[in-house]
Amino acid sequence: MKTSVPLAVALFALGVWSQACGVNEVRQDCGPVCQGCGNFQCLAIRCGGGCWCRPGFLRDSAGTCIPRDQCPKDKVSEPSSH
């Protein structure tokens, strides 16, 4: 009985971690908080595991990771040159 609780917790954690990410997403321990087309310059990081857009992709208004060059031109914030 003592081993069944840790085993159940481990299996639950494994199930959560192994959930598939969407198209153009990758599972990482940490990633950028802002991933949307209008938030390109956001540098804040969040940790705790999850799915983030692959490099070169940003989230559209529906939450789908799309190539950065497919973001609406009025929504893309260019990276700072500083």
Do 31 and 45 touch, CB atoms closer than 8 A? yes
- Residue 55 within any structural domain of the chain: yes
**67: containing domain:** 21-82
Residue 70 tokens read as 């497919």
Q: CA 4 to CA 10: how far, in whole Å? A: 10
- Interval 52-80 mean pLDDT: 81
- Residue 63 makes CB contacts below 8 A (sequence gap 6+) with none
pTM score: 0.62
Q: What are the pLDDT digits (tens) for 14-43? A: 444 457 999 999 999 998 888 888 766 677
Q: Which pLDDT value is given to residue 9?
A: 43
The CATH number for 40's domain is 2.10.25.10
- Residue 2 within any structural domain of the chain: no
- Residue 15 within any structural domain of the chain: no
- Residue 32 within any structural domain of the chain: yes
For the chain, the domain total comes to: 1
- Residue 31 within any structural domain of the chain: yes
Q: Which residue has the tokens 């990081």?
A: 45
- Residue 16 within any structural domain of the chain: no
Q: CA 33 to CA 40: how far, in whole Å? A: 11
